[in-house]
A and B are shown apart, each in its own frame.
Chain A
C-alpha cells in the first residue's frame, strides 16, 4: 500500500474542504471495509483519506412522526440491523443490512460506504430504492437531494463530485398495506451477492390487487436498476401464482447481466426470475397471514 495523508476533520464543512484541497484522488474513509481492501490490492491509490469518524451528526437513525427515516451516512450496518426504528416499518432494510458480510464487518461498515462504493452488488441499494429513498449530498456549503436511483452512474461510480460527501439517506414511510422484501443469493455464506432482488408491493384496500409496486434488481446491471415493465405488469392486477411467474420471467428479461467469475449471465437471469417470484410470494403470504396485523 502506498503512503497517503490521513485527516480527521470535525465537521462536514471541514471534511469537504479537506477532500477538495487534497485534490481529485482524496477519499472519504468511513468503515474502511471497501476502501482499505481496494488500497491493499493496489486498485485504488488515494493521495489522502479523510476520516468521517469525528464528524458529528452522520451516525444516527431518526424516525419522523410520519414513519419516515433519516439515516446518517456514517451509520454502521450493525446499528441499522438492530435499530428499533428501522425494524418497525422497514424490517426488510434491517434484514438486507444483516446479510452483509459478517458481524465483524457490519460492526465497522457503514450504509453510506455501501452506497458510495457503488458496487453493482451493494446489498442496501435495491431495498432502499424499493422504498423510494433519496440521498442528501453536501459540498460543505450547499446541499442537494436526489432519488437514490439516480445516484449511481456505473460500477464504482456515483454523481458525487470531488469535495462532496453523502450525508444522509431519507427513507419515506412505508405505505399502508405494503410489503417489502430483499432476497440475495450467494455462492457460500458471507458472500457478496450474485443477484439481489428487492420488491415492494402495495396492496389495494381489502384485496389482493396490487395498487403499486417497485421491483429493483441488484448485481445484474452496471448499477442497481428498477424493472419498470415488471412494475407495470403488476399494477392493478390480482397477485396470483400465474402473475408471479410472468413477472419473474419479465425480470429475467429486464436484467442486463454479464458473465464473470461469480456467475454466468444466463444463470443470473435465472436467479433474477426466481428471486423476483419469491419476493412476490413473500408479499402474498404476508397478505394471507393478515397483512402483518
Chain B
C-alpha cells in the first residue's frame, strides 16, 4: 500500500503544547468564583451510619455548602443500571474505606479540608469481609444486605464437551493462579469542575475517557434530562480504564454547584486516587488444560473468582471479556469458562488496560509452559502448533480476520535468541528466557449491541481542514492518529488538520476510548468523512479547472491534473468554490460495525469482537539469587497492528504497556491492612521507573484482512497482556521455580529459592 501520511513516525500534533507546558489539563482549570469541593470518606471498611452532625462544618467561615445523603438524589447507580448498588453519598451504611459520606464546598482548599474535619459521623462498626474467601463463607456478613449472598455476578460459557475432553486427553495440567489489585497511577488524578447554571444546564469539565456515556451517567445519577448535561474534556494525563465510569465526584460537585450557584471543583488527592479511583480486578483462576500427544490442545477449563470490591463497576464485562479472550487465544475445541464476582468491603475494581485479559493470560500462558514441560515439548513449539490462522473461526465463534500470530512468535523468539538462551544454554545459570502469547480486541466490541460512531470534516476557504471526532485523546495520541487518517485520505498535509473533540455538544455520540477501539472505530468514521470531503473537493476542482473529475489528483495539499504540470493549492480550490459559488466543502463519515448473522447480545460471546489482534512477547531475565531481585534485561514485543498509522506512537503504546506489565509482574501492589490501603503514595506504591525499564524492542507486525481504516487495528492495550506470563516463564527458565501468584517480589523469589534448596 502506498501511503504519504500514515505508516510514518510523524510527531504528534500536540507535541509542542505538551512539551512546552502550554497544554492545559482539566486539573489546571480555574474559573471565576470557583469553589473547592471535598469529600468526607469512610474510615471504616464496613459500618452503619447512625448519625451525621454537620453543624460545626456549616458554621465555619468560608464554607458555602455541606451536604449528606439527604441533600442529593437518592439514585442507585452502577455502570449497568440493572446492577445498580451505589448511592451518590452513603445513606445508611459505608462499604469500604473511602466510601463517600458527606461533602463540602468552600472558598479554598484549606477551608474545605478543615470543614471536612469538623463533620462528625457516628458509626456502628460492622464486621467486614476483606477477602473473597471470607465473603464466600456461609455465615459471612453481607456487603449488600438486600442480596442473598456476596455473590455479585456469575456466568458460564461452554463450547464442546470439556469434561469428556479432560477425561480423554493424553496430558492434563491443573493449577490455581492469583493476581492482585493494582492502581492505574495516572499522572493526572481524577478530577472535575461542575457548573449548574441558571438555565439548569449542568456542565461537567472532567478528564473522562467516555464523555458521552459520562453524560448519560451524570443525567441518570442526578435524575435530570440528558439534554441538561454537557461534558467537556481537555488534554488528559492518562486513563488506562480508570476514567470510564463516572465516579461520585461529578454528581457531588453538581449538587454543590446547584446549592451555591458557583462552579465547584473536586480533585482527588494522590491518596484518594490510590484508595478510591478503583483497581484492576484481582482474580483467582482455577485452570485446567489438556493436550494430546500430537501437541494439540484439546481442552481448556477455567474458573475465575474475581474480587468485585464493594460495588459493581466494570466487573461483569471484565469477566466476560476475559472469557472471550480465553476462548479465542488458541483454537481449542472444548472450552469452559466460569466467572464469579464476589462483593467484599474493599475498593472496587474497574477497567484497566487489558480488561481482565492480563490476569487471564498470566494463568493460561504460565500453564502452557507447565504443560509443555510435562509433554517434553518446547513451549514455543507447543504454541506454534496451536496457533490461530487468518480467516478461521474458532470453536467459540471468534472470527479471526487478519492474523499474524505465527509471525509474531517467530519474530519474538528469533530476536530474544530463544534457541541459544533457553534452559540456561548460555552458561549463566541465573539467566532465563520466556515467552507468552496474547490475543485482544483491536477494535472495541459490540457489547452494547452495536459498535458505531461518526465524524465530520469541513474545509475552510483557507484550506484548513477541521476534523470533528469523538476520538478521545487521553495521551495515547488518538487525535494525531485521526488527523493522519484524515490527511492521508483527503490528500492534505498533517499540519493542515485541526482536531475538534471532547465536547458532547459538539461531537457525535460515541462509546469512548476503551477496548483499543479509537483507531479502528473513530478512524473508520474519519476515513469515511475524509473520503466524502475529498469527493466534494475533486468535484469543485473539476468545475474550476474545467477538466473531468477523473483527471483530478489530490496529494500533499495540492491539486493537479493528470497529464499536466499545473498545480493548485487546495486553498485556492476551496476559496473559489466557497466564494464564487457558495459551495462549501465537507464530509460526514459514519461507521457502523456490521453485526454478524444471527447476532444477539446474549449469545454473541466472541462474536462481539470486530477485529482481533495477536502478539507475542519474549523476555530475558537475570536473577540475583541472594536478594531475589529480578532484572528484566530485554523484552521483544511483537504485536500485530494491521497497518501502523503512526510508527512512533504505536511503538510508544507497546513500550508503555510493557512497562505497566513489568510493574504488574514484579512490583506493583496495593497493600491493605484491615481494609485500609497503607501504601497510598508513590513512595510505597512502586511503579517501574526509568532505571528499572529494560531495552524494549517493540515490533509492529503488519497484516492484511482487517476492516480498520487503511487496514489498521488498535494497539492501546495488547502490549500489557503477555508481559507478566513471559516474565514468569523466563524466571522458571532461570531458576526452575514456578510462580502462581503475582507480583513476583524479591522476597517471594528469595523464599522460593530457599525452599527449593531445602
Q: Which A residues contact B (CB, under 8 angstroms)?
A: 1-3, 41, 185, 187-192, 261-264, 267, 270-271, 274
Contacts and interface: CB of A to CB of B under 8 A. Distances in A.
Given A2-B110, A261-B671, A261-B678, A187 B686 contact: yes
Contacts of B671: 261
Interface string B485-504: 00000000000000000000
Nearest to B114: A2
B750 interface: yes
**Which of A188, A189, A264 is packed against the most chain B CB atoms within 10 Å?**
A188
A261 B745 CA distance: 12
A48 B627 CA distance: 43
A270 B750 CA distance: 9
Contacts of B750: 267, 270
Contact of A185 (B629, B681, B686): B629
18 contacts: A1-B110, A185-B746, A187-B667, A187-B746, A188-B689, A189-B691, A189-B692, A190-B689, A190-B691, A191-B686, A192-B683, A261-B678, A261-B684, A267-B746, A267-B747, A270-B627, A274-B626, A274-B627
B747 A263 contact: yes
Contacts of A267: 746-747, 750
Contacts of B667: 187-188
**Which of A185, A187, A263 is packed against the most chain B CB atoms within 10 Å?**
A187
Interface residues of B, number: 21
Given A267-B746, A267-B750, A271-B627, 5 more contacts: A185-B627, A188-B689, A188-B692, A270-B750, A274-B627
B688 interface: yes
A250 to B, nearest CB: 16
A2 B691 CA distance: 35
B558 interface: no
Contacts of B686: 187-188, 191
A272 to B, nearest CB: 11
Contacts of B679: 261
Contact of A189 (B110, B684, B690): B690
- Ranked nearest first, the 5 interchain pairs of A and B with the lowest CB-CB distance are A189-B691, A188-B686, A274-B626, A267-B747, A187-B686
B439 interface: no
Interface of B: 110, 626-627, 629, 667, 671, 678-679, 681, 683-684, 686-692, 746-747, 750
B110 A3 contact: yes
Nearest to B687: A188
B interface, over-half SS = loop
Contacts of A192: 683
Nearest to A42: B113
A249 to B, nearest CB: 13
Contacts of B684: 261-262
Contacts of B689: 188-190
A211 B512 CA distance: 70
Contacts of B691: 188-190
A190 B667 CA distance: 14
A187 B688 CA distance: 9
A185 B683 CA distance: 15
A270 B626 CA distance: 8
A274 B749 CA distance: 15
A3 B113 CA distance: 13
Nearest to B109: A1
Contacts of B627: 185, 270-271, 274
B549 to A, nearest CB: 59
Contacts of B692: 188-189
Nearest to A264: B747
A259 B747 CA distance: 12
B676 to A, nearest CB: 11
B667 to A, nearest CB: 6
A162 B683 CA distance: 29
Contacts of B678: 261
A41 B680 CA distance: 11
Contacts of B110: 1-3
Nearest to A273: B626
A3 B681 CA distance: 23
**Which of B110, B667, B747 is packed against the most chain A CB atoms within 10 Å?**
B747
A264 B679 CA distance: 14
Contacts of A189: 689-692
Nearest to A248: B626
B273 to A, nearest CB: 14
A1 to B, nearest CB: 7
B688 A188 contact: yes
A262 B747 CA distance: 10
A185 B627 CA distance: 9
A76 B380 CA distance: 53
**Which of A2, A189, A263 is packed against the most chain B CB atoms within 10 Å?**
A189
A53 to B, nearest CB: 25
A281 to B, nearest CB: 11
A1 B692 CA distance: 33
**Which of A2, A190, A192 is packed against the most chain B CB atoms within 10 Å?**
A190
A4 to B, nearest CB: 11
Contacts of B688: 188
Contacts of A261: 671, 678-679, 684
B218 to A, nearest CB: 31
Nearest to A194: B746
A271 B626 CA distance: 8
Contacts of A41: 681
Contacts of B687: 188
A267 B627 CA distance: 9
Contacts of A187: 667, 686, 746
A185 B687 CA distance: 16
Contacts of B746: 185, 187, 267
B274 to A, nearest CB: 12
A2 B686 CA distance: 28
A270 to B, nearest CB: 6
A209 B192 CA distance: 67
A271 B745 CA distance: 14
A185 B746 CA distance: 11
A187 B667 CA distance: 7
Nearest to A277: B626
Contacts of B690: 189
A263 B628 CA distance: 13
A2 B114 CA distance: 10
Contacts of A264: 747
**Which of B629, B671, B690, B692 is packed against the most chain A CB atoms within 10 Å?**
B692
Contacts of A188: 667, 686-689, 691-692
A261 B670 CA distance: 10
A181 to B, nearest CB: 16
A262 B678 CA distance: 11
A218 to B, nearest CB: 16
Contacts of B626: 270, 274
A1 B111 CA distance: 10
**Which of A41, A261, A262, A263 is packed against the most chain B CB atoms within 10 Å?**
A261
A103 to B, nearest CB: 11
Nearest to A275: B627
A190 B626 CA distance: 21
A183 to B, nearest CB: 10
A188 B690 CA distance: 9
A192 B671 CA distance: 18
B272 to A, nearest CB: 13
A17 to B, nearest CB: 29
Nearest to A278: B626
Nearest to A1: B110
A8 B421 CA distance: 61
A180 B667 CA distance: 31
A188 B694 CA distance: 13
A41 B679 CA distance: 13
Nearest to B683: A192
A288 to B, nearest CB: 21
A279 to B, nearest CB: 13
A263 B686 CA distance: 12
A1 B689 CA distance: 28
A264 to B, nearest CB: 6
